[in-house]
Amino acid sequence: MTLNEQIKKQASIFWFTGMSGSGKTTLSCAIKNILIEQHLRVGIIDGDTVREGYKKKLGFSHDEVMQNNLHIASICQTVRTNYDVILVPVISPYAEIRQKVRDLLTPSFHLIYLKTDISSLRARDPKGLYQSADDGLITDLIGYSKTTPYEQPDNAELILNTSDQNPIERSIVELIEFINFTR
């Protein structure tokens, strides 16, 4: 098998970045079903699910976030030949981490940034994280707490506005078109 044939057999990876509640997992699950209907083999490697699998609880320091993201990238490498498309919803708050992941997973790595305003995130708050941060129970909520920033990507191949005023159906259509175009 030639190198080009090997590359073609590897899944395209679509890495979703955005703050908690921006719709990363929701969109990944919605488009997975559409892609399966197109007869594609699709996997989701969710950052929250991977994080829950650690024997020792992993925090949200820069180093722990780096460790988690690099572990997710390693999982992608391991299973890449089993799928046509891998969807990876994970916060990935730091440019440095996203670049390391891009370097590891290129070719066919695509960064998708879900940009959402804070008022939409607070209103959605599916895990109660923003309320907990407002109540002082969480002091390191990424992108919301002063100590843990979210660095907006400047090299995303696709930016989707997932604020409340934009219907999810629009994002689904844009994502499917993007995935079908870039695969």
Q: Is residue 2 part of a domain?
A: no
pLDDT of residue 49: 78
The phi, psi pair for 181, rounded to 5°, reads -75, -40
- Min mean pLDDT across 7-16, 18-27, 108-117, 138-147 is at 7-16
Would you say 106 and 77 are in contact if contact means Cβ atoms under 8 Å apart? Answer: no
For residue 167, give its domain range: 9-182
Catalytic site residue from 12, 22, 92, 171: 92
pLDDT of residue 61: 81
Q: What is the mean pLDDT of the chain?
A: 90
Q: Is residue 147 part of a domain?
A: yes
Which structure tokens are listed for 64?
A: 């722990």
The CATH number of residue 40's host domain is 3.40.50.300
pLDDT of residue 62: 85
Which structure tokens are listed for 47?
A: 């950052």
* pLDDT band at residue 8 using 50, 70 and 90 as cut-offs: low
Number of independent structural domains in the chain: 1
Q: Is residue 60 part of a domain?
A: yes
Q: Is residue 3 part of a domain?
A: no
Q: Is residue 4 part of a domain?
A: no
Asked if the model's pLDDT at residue 1 lies above 50, the reply is: no
Q: Is residue 75 part of a domain?
A: yes
Q: Is the whole-model pTM more than 0.85?
A: yes
Would you say 48 and 122 are in contact if contact means Cβ atoms under 8 Å apart? Answer: no
Is residue 163 flagged as an active site residue? no
Asked if the model's pLDDT at residue 59 lies above 80, the reply is: no
pLDDT of residue 183: 76
* pLDDT band at residue 51 using 50, 70 and 90 as cut-offs: confident
